[in-house]
Chains A and B, each alone.
Chain A
Amino acid sequence: MTPGPRQASGETTSRVTVDRDRCCGAGNCVVTAPEVFDQDDTDGLVLLRDPTPGGALLDRVQRAADLCPAGAIRID
């Protein structure tokens, strides 16, 4: 994955954004990275729990973005 912007601390971080208009509620992201993604109880669409997940989670966040059938997850 492409590294995110450098922070003052020197640690790389990434910003995750989700597009609820594109989301089709398949739930792959919640299975793959439940620390970062959730589904809304009312409509089943994606909810972002953590927009700046730490390094240990990034592999799984990237996998969630790859698996998203609707292309609703972006990592910058």
Chain B
Amino acid sequence: MTQTTETELPHWPPVNPARSPFALIDDAERQPLAERAVTRVQLPTGATAWLVTRHTEVRQLLRHPGFSSDLLRPGFPLLRPLPPDVTSNSQGAFIRMDGAAHLRLRRMLTAEFMIKNVQRIEPLIHQTVADALADLAAAGSPADLVSTFALPLPSKVICHLLGVPYADHDFFQSRSRLLLDRRAPAEQFQHAAQELREYLRSLIDAKRARPDDADDLLSRLIRERVEPGELDVDELGGMALLLLIAGHETTANMLGLSVLLLTRHREQWAILRDRPDLAPGLVDELLRYLSIVRNGLFRLATEDVEIGGRLIRAGEGAIALLSLANRDPGVFDDPDEFDPYRQAHQHLAFGFGVHQCIGQPLARAELRMALVELARRFPDLRVAADPQELSTRDTSIVFGLDALPVTW
């Protein structure tokens, strides 16, 4: 962290937008990162961190117990300074916890999102897809696919699972989006976080005041964990916040980008319709190629660890760059080509290590069912804009399109 070299270091996140939604990173900024497995970069806060860009090393970093996810630790690499009240607002945020404290909360949820349970709710997802398709048809051509289909679909599903009223979607969607924008002004960020926490807290309080046998996740966790004293109500609020945001923003952005990509590969659009059995492999390739968590996953070394021939010392920051690992030519042939027939299962779009996305079976099912049904219902769907003209979320933790005009 010496002052003298900082001006020469590449900046992270990238300074310039990528040339297209599929390019991940500006070409000139990508080039020096591709030359080595680990590169020292400068963050917007002025701090430095090690950016890890290859598949093997990203896996090694994310599975290594010598790296912490706790952003309250001194020296943790940050994209923005921490708000002053962060300690009182971080209860239940298990994505930022380590070791036993993390596992304690995550394990209260693992059974909820496992593949067997997602298969059980497939009829619900199917019906939600059908409703969203009807809304899109009713909107009429041309329509915005993001606001009429891609965003409502996963929002409705996660609301149903959690027991959050979908009627409040404008409120939680706008605040979630703000929380994910790393350029959002600090005051607005704090205000949005507080509003969402208060909203979920009052929802939980209302459920506790009227105990019933409701089968949603929050009601179940209240009955089985909070009332017996295993789980604090603020911890439940933090868990709910995480699931609500992660449950709709990620799938929504994947859906918009997937439709943009697949409508440029007409043969794939037809195959989705005619061969839905091939859709799971296609979804994995979409996850790899689009890699929507483009800023990477941030960690702090708590011991000296060698990664990719570099000694990362205790107290130094490291960033696992999922997006470039998913374009590692050592693992994926012609990695910048979209190829639905490749074996893409090694992709790291859901992360790796004990924090790997808990909702991935749900995300996979939503993407598969939404894309298949969309291709069946709208075989002639077209995007009514050049990809380069579309407004993209370049400063969001989760990359995506602001809108996607489609015709049919």
Say whether A associates with B. yes
Where the two chains meet, the residues of A that have a C-beta atom closer than 8 Å to any C-beta of B are: 22, 24-27, 30-32, 39-45, 63, 66-67, 69-71
Interface string of B343-383 (1 = CB under 8 A from A): 00110001111111110110000000000000000000000
B107 contacts A25, C-beta separation under 8 Å: yes
Q: Which 4 A-B pairs have the closest CB atoms?
A: A25-B110, A44-B110, A44-B111, A69-B356
Query: Taking the nearest CB of chain B, how far is it from the CB of A48, in angstroms?
Result: 15
Does B62 lie at the interface of the complex (its beta carbon under 8 Å from any beta carbon of A)?
yes
B110 contacts A70, C-beta separation under 8 Å: no
Does B115 lie at the interface of the complex (its beta carbon under 8 Å from any beta carbon of A)?
yes
Does B103 lie at the interface of the complex (its beta carbon under 8 Å from any beta carbon of A)?
yes
- How long is the Cα–Cα vector from A32 to B116 in the complex, in angstroms? 14
Task: Provide the main secondary structure of the chain A interface.
Answer: loop
B352 contacts A25, C-beta separation under 8 Å: no
Q: Which of A22, A26, A63, A70 contacts B358 (CB 8 A)?
A: A26
The 30 sampled A-B contact pairs (Cβ below 8 Å) are A24-B355, A24-B356, A24-B358, A25-B106, A25-B111, A25-B114, A25-B358, A26-B356, A26-B358, A26-B360, A27-B114, A30-B114, A31-B361, A32-B345, A39-B116, A42-B111, A44-B110, A44-B112, A44-B113, A45-B110, A66-B346, A67-B345, A67-B346, A69-B351, A69-B355, A69-B356, A70-B63, A70-B353, A70-B354, A70-B356
A43 contacts B115, C-beta separation under 8 Å: no
- How long is the Cα–Cα vector from A40 to B357 in the complex, in angstroms? 18
Q: A69-B63, A71-B63 are in contact. Are A39 and B115 (CB under 8 A)?
A: yes
Query: Taking the nearest CB of chain B, how far is it from the CB of A71, in angstroms?
Result: 6
- How long is the Cα–Cα vector from A24 to B69 in the complex, in angstroms? 15
Residues in A whose Cβ lies below 8 Å from that of B109: 44
Residues in B whose Cβ lies below 8 Å from that of A69: 62-63, 351-356
Q: A27-B360, A31-B115 are in contact. Are A43 and B353 (CB under 8 A)?
A: no
Residues in A whose Cβ lies below 8 Å from that of B346: 66-67
Q: A24-B103, A25-B358, A69-B354 are in contact. Are A30 and B345 (CB under 8 A)?
A: no
Query: Taking the nearest CB of chain A, how far is it from the CB of B137, in angstroms?
Result: 33
Residues in B whose Cβ lies below 8 Å from that of A39: 110-111, 114-116
Residues in A whose Cβ lies below 8 Å from that of B107: 25, 43-45
Residues in A whose Cβ lies below 8 Å from that of B116: 30, 39, 41
- How long is the Cα–Cα vector from A42 to B112 in the complex, in angstroms? 9
Q: A39-B116, A69-B62 are in contact. Are A24 and B111 (CB under 8 A)?
A: no
- How long is the Cα–Cα vector from A44 to B217 in the complex, in angstroms? 15
Q: A69-B356, A70-B354 are in contact. Are A27 and B63 (CB under 8 A)?
A: no
A24 contacts B106, C-beta separation under 8 Å: yes
Known: A26-B357, A43-B110, A63-B345. 7 other contacts (CB 8 A): A24-B103, A24-B110, A25-B111, A32-B345, A43-B107, A67-B345, A70-B354
Residues in A whose Cβ lies below 8 Å from that of B112: 44
Query: Taking the nearest CB of chain B, how far is it from the CB of A1, in angstroms?
Result: 16
